[in-house]
């Protein structure tokens, strides 16, 4: 389908979704949330890996659209919050790996979108944070839950309660991003990473991510049990047989995704 606020491009096994509202610093209004949700679902059906980024080099996604939020009553704001949470949950649970290319500001809902991705690359000009307390609110798209799972409770509380901004170098140091790359190359690095992921067995990637994401919400004993169950299931797949055969024949595997 055609979108008003995002661009969709496909190169080989990788699909890129670009939030394209540069005049609003790619802020997430209700229409953009709706379009992103649909686009992520559609891309997951056809690609091997997915990249999320923002148009231009100034902002990844600068946050929620404050001009829209300011006009809403609490009753009107609730459906928007639920839509944002649904988008983030859909990104995190996407069966294909999702890489964020953070090229500039990533605040509020934009930072929460990056947190929902499985991996993150960033340019040196990237700046991230959750500034909601300065507006008298708190993060509403999963930031209070995903951030401490990445950086720990104390660091997350410091960032959320002080509305601290973190640059790319600090984000790399504390584990918010996986790669910091030269200026203007966040998307290039994300594509290289996505292509690496796309070359791996799709079913194995899907359930490796599930073991990690779901396992973090479980006691260790239950998480290990989940890993064992998924590992056993993967031994029944055609890709497992193809992987062993390709290894013995010293060739690249031809994954079927089943």
Catalytic residues, which ones? 112, 132
Q: How far apart are the C-alpha atoms of 176 and 106, rounded to whole Å? A: 12
Report phi then psi at 139, rounded to 5: -55, 140
Q: Which residue from 177, 131, 126, 123 is spatially nearest to 150, judged by alpha carbons?
A: 177
Q: Rg for the chain (alpha carbons), in Å?
A: 19
Helix, strand, coil percentages, rounded to 5, for the chain: 50, 15, 30
DSSP 196-250: HHHTS-HHHHHHHHHHHHHHTTS-HHHHHHHHHHHHHHHTTSHHHHHHHHHHHHT
Provide the 3-class DSSP secondary structure of residue 102.
Answer: strand
Q: How far apart are the C-alpha atoms of 247 and 232, rounded to whole Å? A: 20
Q: How far apart are the C-alpha atoms of 6 and 157, rounded to whole Å? A: 32
């Amino acid at each position: 389908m055609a979108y008003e606020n995002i661009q969709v491009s496909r190169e080989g096994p990788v699909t890129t979704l670009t939030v394209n509202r540069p005049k609003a610093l790619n802020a997430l209004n209700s229409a953009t949330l709706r379009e992103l949700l649909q686009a992520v679902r559609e891309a997951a059906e056809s690609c091997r890996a997915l990249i999320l980024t923002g148009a231009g080099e100034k902002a990844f996604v600068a946050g929620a659209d404050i001009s829209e939020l300011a006009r809403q009553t609490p009753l009107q704001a609730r459906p928007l919050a639920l839509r944002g949470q649904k988008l983030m949950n859909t990104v995190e649970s996407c069966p294909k790996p999702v890489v964020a290319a953070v090229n500039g500001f990533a605040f509020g809902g934009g930072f929460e979108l990056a947190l929902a991705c499985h991996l993150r690359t960033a340019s040196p000009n990237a700046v991230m944070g959750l500034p909601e307390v300065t507006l008298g609110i708190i993060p509403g798209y999963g930031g209070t839950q995903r951030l401490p799972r990445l950086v720990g409770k104390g660091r997350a509380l410091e960032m959320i309660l002080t509305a601290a901004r973190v640059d790319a170098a600090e984000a790399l140091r504390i584990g918010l991003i996986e790669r910091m790359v030269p200026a203007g190359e966040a998307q290039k690095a994300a594509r290289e990473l996505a292509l690496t992921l796309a070359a791996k067995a799709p079913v194995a990637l899907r359930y490796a991510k599930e073991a990690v994401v779901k396992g973090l919400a479980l006691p260790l004993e239950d998480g290990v049990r989940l890993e064992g169950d998924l590992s056993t299931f993967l031994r029944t797949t055609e890709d497992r047989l193809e992987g062993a055969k390709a290894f013995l024949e010293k060739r690249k595997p031809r994954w079927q995704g089943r």
